[in-house]
Structure 1
Amino acid sequence: MNDDQVVTAAFERELLRIPFDQIAPLYVVSAQIKSTIKYKRIAASVAEIGLVEPLVVTRDPNNADQYTLLDGHLRLDVLQNQGATETQCIISTDDEAFTYNKRISRLATIQEHKMILRALTLGVPEERLAKALDVNIRTLQQKRRLLDGICGEAAEMLKDKQIAVTGFQILRKMKPMRQIEAAQLMMTMNKYTINYARSLLAATPDSQLVTGATPKKFKGISREQLDLMERESSNLEREVRLVEDSYGIDHLDLVLARGYVAKLLNNERIVKYLGLHHEEFLPEFEKITEREVFAP
């Protein structure tokens, strides 16, 4: 990096307490949204332990006293309903709300686990924390022990993924190397469901399971068939990676080819020739260019 290059900070250094009448939301929180489990959990958490994550706003370039809300619409609505009139906010230097919300990472399972550990370390009682998260004590304890038996590499790969607690319980039955393979397969296939985790466990050889682990048996499926499924899954993973590697170039080639075909169809002489000698090509070219062409 050159000495004269300056990296602009994404946020201002200090939190700012801003009255709600100076914050402009991007959308209204509807009654349907307020009936969701997510909204109710946020409301319970704010009521029990206060606001954990500040709102994110950006300054209005035309009015120094006004701000646009980028993230935290549900939290803002909850605070307003509970009688608050202001709150601390993070000031973003990026005024593109679409860009910000596209890049922001929602609270993933492992992130929630770390938040729970931090709250417990600070002395928040389990009962109070469970009430704030709108879960029972048993579920809270499961989330607290989420990464027990999970190797660090697998946890790192899944740190920003939405995976059910049961999914981690399934991974825990595998040895570390198999946990890493399973995490890689989940990421490649973009599948983090419990059923997919169970299928990976069922396809895991006994030598790669921890002592005492017994995967659920699938009726009508033999060990040989499970081994075949595992090999096919590995082959599919390699094929997906090959597609990912060439996707950018292939897409560019297709864009250029489509542009070339569209340019040809703008030439009346070419369209007339195709209509006389290769009429069957015109409908296909129409599909490629998404336009209707009439031969003279």
Structure 2
Amino acid sequence: MLSALRTCGGNTHHGANNTVQSTGCYIRLEGTEGFLESPNYPDSYPPGFDCCYDIARPSSRHCGIRFHAEQLTIVQTPQDAGFCQTDWLAMDSCVPEGGSRFCGNLTGSTFQYLFQPGSRALRLIFHSSSQSPDKRPNPNAKYKYRIKYKVLEDCGGLFQEPVVSSIPGETGMTCYTRIPDKQGSINTLYYPDYYPHNLDCVYEFMRPNPFICGIKMHSVEFDLEPSMETPFGGACADYFQAPGCGFLCGSINFSWTALYQPGATSQRFHFHSDDMNSHQGFLIAFEQVYHC
């Protein structure tokens, strides 16, 4: 389903607050604020739909987009625990994918995401299964969404791009790695020895050409400080992330394809360590790919 949406395209019409391009279930939104609505809104969305929303970036000074769910109720089944598998709305370019898929009742929630360097747009996708409406968990419920968005010039807090730190004991050296290669690996500083405290490292993958759609990555070794329990759930003190997306910590295995946003020239990953409890770190193999 994801690979089919790489060919999004459409025709233009003008609404009250934003320019919209649409063909089938492709919509391009060109205003600095507006709404995303599910197919058939305000009625329940139909089965068997794959939709693509591109929200245009007005200029390079715009850093990201904030979303507020005025209504967001998407089919969720018992099999969806922890990962939406039947119906979902998702941020196309975020990994891990499970942290960027939304289903269930999330009305009132707010989300924020960043543009990648050079990106012309940020893309969301919607998928509904082919299951008939009378087979849904609650056939009488209204499954639909209406989400307000605003393109931002100030992306603060956890959603901002990380500031790269210096390497301890190395005068004038920062923990930044520029990666022009089509394949290879990345690792934490001094791997396989334990990584230092108080690091903010950025790994920036340069897109070799516009036909490369993403970076296929898998963990050879991944061992960071485990998450801590808080009143709000688990929290990572040391973590690896795509800025603005989900956080990874602990000892895990993963395999994913990190997609480039439309027009992006690169994408970045961020590693952070705090002042306690270092671990071995990670070794991650990658390949820039043409088929996503």
* TM-score, normalisation: structure 2: 0.21
Compare CA radii of gyration and give the structure with the larger one: 1
Comparing both structures, which one devotes a greater share of its residues to helix? 1
Greater relative contact order structure (CA < 8 Å, 6+ sep)? 2
- Give the TM-score normalised by structure 1: 0.21
The structure with the largest strand share of the pair is 2
